Amino acid sequence: MIWEDLNEKLIVPDLEAESSSDIFRRLGGLLVSEGYCKDTYVQALIDREKEFPTGINMGNIGIAIPHTDRGHVNSGKVAIGILKEPVHFYQMGSTDVAVNVKIVFMLAVDDPEAHLPFLQRVLLVLQDQQVLERLMQVKSKQEIIHIIKEKEQEL
Amino acid sequence: MTAVNILSVCGSGTVTSSMVATKLKEKLKDRGYSVTTTEARPTEALNLAQSGRFDVITHTSPLPSGDYGIPTINAFACLIGMGEDQFFDEVVAALKAAGK
C-alpha cells in the first residue's frame, strides 16, 4: 500500500515554488536529507525534466511525476507536494504542451521490478479525478495520507 | 496464448515504461497474448529494436528518428487512463499485422 509507507516528512501540503526546479530542490532535497536519494538526485531531476518532461494533464488537473533513473536513488520512496500556486511544467512526450501543475508525486525508484505494484497503485490514484480534486483542497499532511488510504482501500 | 515481446520506452527507462508494461501484460492477456516486456530509455530504443527481438515498441517519450523496423505506438493514453482501449486496440492490431 502507498499510504502505509508515506513518510510525513516527505509530504508538503502547502508547497510554495516558482518553478519546477524550485520544487525539485524542495521535495528532492527532503528525499536526499532523509537518505532515500543521493546528493546527485536534485540536479538529475532538473536535467531530466529539461529533456523528458513529467507533467501530465489529467483531465483539467495538472500533475507531475518527476523522477530520475535508479542511479541517484538509495531506496524507493515517494514525496508528495500540493502547490499553493500552479507551477508550469511541460507535458510528458511534448515540447510545447503546458501543464499547470498543482499536485506533485515525486518518485524515487531504485528497483522498478520490485516497485511495480506500488507504481501501478500510484497510477490508479492519479487517474482518479475525484481524488485529485480532494488533494488540491487539503490543508494538512494527515488529510493527504487519509485520501490516498481511502482510495487504495477501494482498489 | 501467443507469446509476444514488447519494448516499453520512457525517459528514464524505469517509471512510466514499467507502468505501461504492467498494463500491457494485464490487458493483452485477456486478448490471448502472453506479453514479455523490456523497459528502456529512448537512446537505447533503436539498438534494441534492430536486434529483432521485439514485435512492437510502446513509448511515453518521443523516440529519436530512425528506422525501427517494427510498429511504434504512443502509450500516453495508458498513463492518463483516457483513450486506453484505443491504445490496446492499436497494439493488438500491430501484433496481428505482424502475424501474431
Q: How far is residue A14's CA from residue A9's CA, in Å, rounded to a whole number?
A: 13
Is domain B2-97 in CATH 3.40.50.2020, yes or no? no
> For residues A55 and A95, is the Cβ–Cβ distance under 8 A?
no
Q: Does A58 touch chain B (CB under 8 A)?
A: yes
Fold of the A2-154 domain: Mannitol-specific EII; Chain A (3.40.930)
Tell me the one-letter amino acid at A101: V
Would you list the domain boundaries of chain A? 2-154
Interface touch A107/B15, C-beta < 8 Å: yes
ipTM at complex level: 0.87
Give the separation between CA B39 and CA A41, rounded to whole angstroms: 21
A42 touches chain B (CB under 8 A): no
Report pLDDT digits (tens) over A5-35: 889 999 999 999 999 999 999 999 999 999 9
Partner-chain residue, chosen from A56, A57, A112, that has the shortest CB–CB distance to B15: A112
Does the CB of A97 have a partner CB in chain B at under 8 Å? no
Q: Report the interhelical angle of B84-97 vs B15-29 (nearest 10°).
A: 70
Q: Tens of pLDDT along A98-151?
A: 999 999 999 999 988 888 888 888 999 999 999 999 999 999 999 999 999 999
Q: Is the dihedral of CA B48, A122, A125, A93 positive or negative?
A: negative
What is the pTM for the complete model shown?
0.93
Does the distance separating the beta carbons of A65 and B15 come in below 8 Å? yes
Chain A nearest CA to B81, separation (Å): 6
